[in-house]
Amino acid sequence: MKIAVLPGDGIGPEIVKEAVKVLNALDEKFELEEAPVGGAGYEASGHPLPEATLALAKSADAILFGAVGDWKYDSLERALRPEQAILGLRKHLELFANFRPAICYPQLTGASSLKAEIVSGLDILIVRELNGDIYFGQPRGLRESPDGLFKGAREGFDTMRYAEPEVRRIAHVAFQAAQKRQKKLTSVDKANVLETSQFWRDIMIDVSKEYPDVELSHMYVDNAAMQLVKAPKAFDVVVTGNMFGDILSDEAAMLTGSIGMLPSASLDKNNKGLYEPSHGSAPDIAGKGIANPLATILSAAMMLRYSLGREEQADRIETAVKKVLEQGYRTADIVTPDCKRVGTVEMGDAVIAAL
Ligand code: IPM
Ligand code: MG
């Protein structure tokens, strides 16, 4: 089993190091190969997704990814910015199904900005389509406005679009995920305004006929944003497009107390996947040794489960994480009164001790 390790920028290298440490502490040894990506890729070879990095990602059984991005690259042309690395990997490897679980650990209810009774026991799963939508739709760019009130003025434009097979495949993934959980699926769209969304909704309804055991409901994205803070526990699985999923998954993550706790998986149709924390590169705290490595460690657990078929090892890591929380270990983002405040490396050590 070969794992491509792509630490990236900001806190990426620090947190990935801890996840690698945890993987190396398991009984089974994996072949780990590291390569630069994002700003680090740009520094190494002039492109955020160097060819050798992409080749490694393609040849590996799974990819463990840190985070990309740093303000110092903001002035680069779009094609060279660090974000293009993750977008490129998702597209080149056809990682269309993004799983973003939002779980509120009992020990961390106090860390949420919402009242404890609203978030305690929260366990929702956002399934975000990752290969289409306005993120990748062509045409896009800058042009002279061809019509309307501002005809002739400069305008920026993007295209929201979804092809039927694209919606069908994410629908199946989401229904199957719901079957393994509470069997409730909420499809989030903006069908009251957007053609793409009405099309999405019609297909969701069609696919639902193959999953009579799953209860499908629909919600407009603005309402979903509101319900997520009002009554988040009413959700089980949420399926949505790339753009809405980007926004709602950050919102859902924050319900749990810290985005520093949440892993994610991006899978292709054969369950090969890229695993990364839901959070970003946090350049403001990079190198300080205070970042929370748990989201990345939990991403490694998801990798063992979904792509490497090592369910038992995945369980071991997840149990170890729960144990360190019970023992009171906390990084800066999740500090609570009377906790044992630790840095990135100590948190990794605590997980290994708990293993
Ligand atoms: C995410 C991030 C990315 C996205 C960025 C870094 C391109 O926000 O994974 O949610 O927008 O998908
Ligand atoms: Mg995002």
CA of 279 to the centre of ligand 2 (A): 8
Closest to 102 in 3D by CA, of 196, 194, 181, 159: 181
Is ligand 1 within 6 A of the CB of residue 37?
no
Contact 206, 220 (CB under 8 A): no
Specify the residue with its C-alpha closest to ligand 1, atom 12: 246
Q: Which of 9, 189, 190, 275 is catalytic?
A: 190
Return d(Cα 145, Cα 153) in angstroms, integer. 5
Name the residue of 246, 248, 249, 251 to mutate for ligand 1: max ligand atoms within 8 A of Cβ: 246
Question: For the segment 184-234, what is each residue's pLDDT rounded down to a tens digit?
Answer: 999 999 999 999 999 999 999 999 999 999 999 999 999 999 999 999 999
pLDDT of residue 335: 87
Is the confidence at residue 109, as pLDDT, over 90? no
Q: Name 132's Cβ contacts closer than 8 Å, sequence gap at least 6.
A: 96, 161, 162, 163, 166, 241, 242
Active site residue 246: yes
Tell me the CATH class for 1-97+261-354: alpha beta
pLDDT of residue 227: 98
CA of 246 to the centre of ligand 1 (A): 6
Annotated binding-site ranges for NAD(+): 280-292
- Structure token digits, residue 68: 């990309």
Name the residue of 65, 78, 87, 126 to mutate for ligand 1: max ligand atoms within 8 A of Cβ: 87
Closest to 348 in 3D by CA, of 287, 290, 273: 290
**What pairing do the DSSP bridges indicate for beta strands 31-34 and 215-220?**
unpaired
Question: For the segment 45-62, what is each residue's pLDDT rounded down to a tens digit?
Answer: 999 999 999 999 999 999
In this prediction the pTM is 0.94
Q: Fold identical between 1-97+261-354 and 112-255? A: yes
Ligand closest to Cα of 87 equals 1
Is the confidence at residue 20, as pLDDT, over 90? yes
Is ligand 1 within 6 A of the CB of residue 251?
no
- Please give the mean pLDDT across all residues of the chain: 96
Closest to 101 in 3D by CA, of 306, 277, 325, 326: 277
Fold classification of 112-255 is Isopropylmalate Dehydrogenase (3.40.718)
pLDDT of residue 354: 98
Annotated binding-site ranges for substrate: 90, 100, 128, 222
Annotated binding-site ranges: 90, 100, 128, 222, 246, 250, 280-292
DSSP H or E stretch at residue 129:
strand 123-129
- Structure token digits, residue 165: 């097979």
CA of 282 to the centre of ligand 1 (A): 13
CA of 210 to the centre of ligand 2 (A): 31
- The domain limits of the chain are 1-97+261-354, 112-255
Contact 40, 283 (CB under 8 A): no
Is the confidence at residue 31, as pLDDT, over 90? yes
Contact 305, 311 (CB under 8 A): yes
Is the confidence at residue 132, as pLDDT, over 90? yes
Q: Which atom of ligand 1 is nearest to the CA of 69?
A: 6
Specify the residue with its C-alpha closest to ligand 1, atom 10: 246
Tell me the sheet residues that pair with 126.
100, 238
Question: For the segment 136-161, what is each residue's pLDDT rounded down to a tens digit?
Answer: 999 999 999 999 999 999 999 999 99
Is ligand 1 within 6 A of the CB of residue 87?
yes
Is the confidence at residue 242, as pLDDT, over 90? yes
Question: For the segment 287-300, what is each residue's pLDDT rounded down to a tens digit?
Answer: 999 999 999 999 99
Active site residue 268: no
Is the confidence at residue 82, as pLDDT, over 90? yes
Interval 93-121 mean pLDDT: 92
Is ligand 1 within 6 A of the CB of residue 86?
yes
Active site residue 135: yes
Is ligand 1 within 6 A of the CB of residue 204?
no
pLDDT of residue 111: 84
CA of 129 to the centre of ligand 2 (A): 12
Return d(Cα 17, Cα 42) in angstroms, integer. 21
